[in-house]
Structure 1
Amino acid sequence: MVRIKAIAFDLFNTLITVDSGALKLADNRLLRSLREDGFRLEESEFKEAYREEAGRFIEEARLSEVETHNRFWIHAALARQGYKLDPFDNRIASAVEAYFSGFYETTRLIPGTLELLSDLRLTYPLGLLSNFTHGPAARKIIAETGIAPFFDVILISGELGHRKPSPLVFRELVQKLGVEGAHTVYVGDDPQPDIHGAWRAGLQPVWTTYVMDNGLAFAPGILAREAGVPDGEVPRISNWKELYKLLKLKT
């Protein structure tokens, strides 16, 4: 590896995981919020409409590399149920918050993450770059898991307007870190947005497969996981001990 001057990470499935029941909990809270605000919705019809619209918007975002937001998914799903309203309606905003509350209590740090970040912080500036549609929810999760203080830079796609693998977000990352991309390691789990995106932007990607190797559920309903396997020349790690070894640091 080229001399390393900074290290950055993806968030979901890289530093943290989400319980397998999180998506169901989030969907139920979304529906309950809308019903409490006066929308008469049949559960199965609305949930099916919401998942279909979410999939459509996520696919458009994947192709354009321009971030989407859950408010538009909810707005489109409600329109299919006969409700015509502004996507920025306060009732939709409340439903967005209710939806993401289902993830706050079902998010877990990957074992050893706090110790890893504490050790790396002694040597490198650290960055976090996450594809996450709703910035406030992402920042709440980052704060509540206790990892926020370790990072010099925290960037969320929902706040940037673009998403990985767009070079724009990686350039913003290295600019704020004050380090050239060629001297920045980016650790992520998703082959296309994380690994290919980092490589495309001139960073040094490292592919982490902890979640896959341990048979854990991939974070659902938040981001679209891409298919594929990175090039064989990309370093692959299955746990943090292997990252220490790759960086030639003592554990």
Structure 2
Amino acid sequence: MTTPKPAPTEHRVQATAVLFDFGGVLTSSVLGAFEALGESLGCDPRLPLRLFGDDAEAQALLVAHEEGRIGESEFEQGFAARLRAHGAEVDGDGLVRRIQAGLRADTAMITLVAEVRDAGFRVGLLSNSLGDDCYAGFDLSSMFDAVTISGEVGVRKPARRAYDIACARLDVEPGATVMVDDLPQNIVAAERAGLTGVLHRDATGTTERLWAALGRS
């Protein structure tokens, strides 16, 4: 009788780099900012976000803007038209600034980026952009080793190519990279691309899970 061989264990590459999302990770919730916009318009607070899920024209506008094919003004006017079509009274001028006004920098997460980098890991930004000046107040070039913004590279998360570009810019393999994002669909896509995903909900939980993914206590 032969002794069965143990099943081979999966070889896991040690993570050497982290990609961070911007809105909703380094800032307060983007979803909350859209709900605040809905409240300010006097309509259902969930309407702006619901349009991106249910309204084909609104979806197309967001994708085109995040991929850099249309600018802030064209997105604003088009999105305002979709909001009006669903009963909201809104002027497109300044609509993106109204959304951004609901965002606040998350200092604990910004500190975490610096701590991860100081620990010897490469850190990068992978962000779907919204607005022509959505990163104002953040010195991205000093915070990160590489920056990948959807409107500049012409592809957005959750497309696999976005993760491939961001990893290439960091000079790391996807299998050695951790992605921190607040949207589940982006984490699923990152893991399909070979990265390790950390779903962000708050700085305390993300800090614990990220260091664990990096093999640090």
TM over 0.5: yes
| Structure 2 unmatched ranges of 5 or more | 1-11, 85-90
Map of 1:15 onto structure 2? 26
SS in 2 for 1:114: helix
CA distance in 1, matches of 2:109, 2:83: 43
Offset at residue 175 of structure 1 (A): 0.8
Judged with a 3 Å threshold, the aligned counterparts in structure 2 of structure 1 residues 15 and 56 are, in CA distance, closer, same or farther, namely: same
Map of 2:176 onto structure 1? 183
Map of 2:199 onto structure 1? 207
Identity %: 25
CA distance in 1, matches of 2:212, 2:79: 48
2:127 alignment partner, one of 127, 130, 141: 130
- Give a deviation string over 1:170-197, Cα, whole Å, max 9, x none: 11101111111111111112111x2121
1:158 alignment partner, one of 151, 172, 178: 151
Give the letter aligned to residue 112 of structure 1.
Answer: A
Q: Please say if residues 25 and 109 of structure 2, whose CA atoms lie closer than 8 Å, have aligned partners that are also in contact.
A: no
Asked whether 1:198 is paired with 2:195, we answer no
Asked whether 1:114 is paired with 2:110, we answer yes
CA distance in 1, matches of 2:187, 2:109: 20
Asked whether 1:5 is paired with 2:16, we answer yes
Q: Please say if residues 210 and 238 of structure 1, whose CA atoms lie closer than 8 Å, have aligned partners that are also in contact.
A: yes
| Structure 1 unmatched ranges of 5 or more | 32-42, 82-91, 212-236
CA distance in 2, matches of 1:108, 1:161: 26
Give the letter aligned to residue 202 of structure 1.
Answer: G
CA RMSD of aligned residues (A): 4.0
Map of 1:59 onto structure 2? 59
Judged with a 3 Å threshold, the aligned counterparts in structure 2 of structure 1 residues 114 and 80 are, in CA distance, closer, same or farther, namely: closer
Asked whether 1:243 is paired with 2:207, we answer no
1:74 alignment partner, one of 77, 87, 93: 77
Q: TM-score, normalized by length of structure 1?
A: 0.59
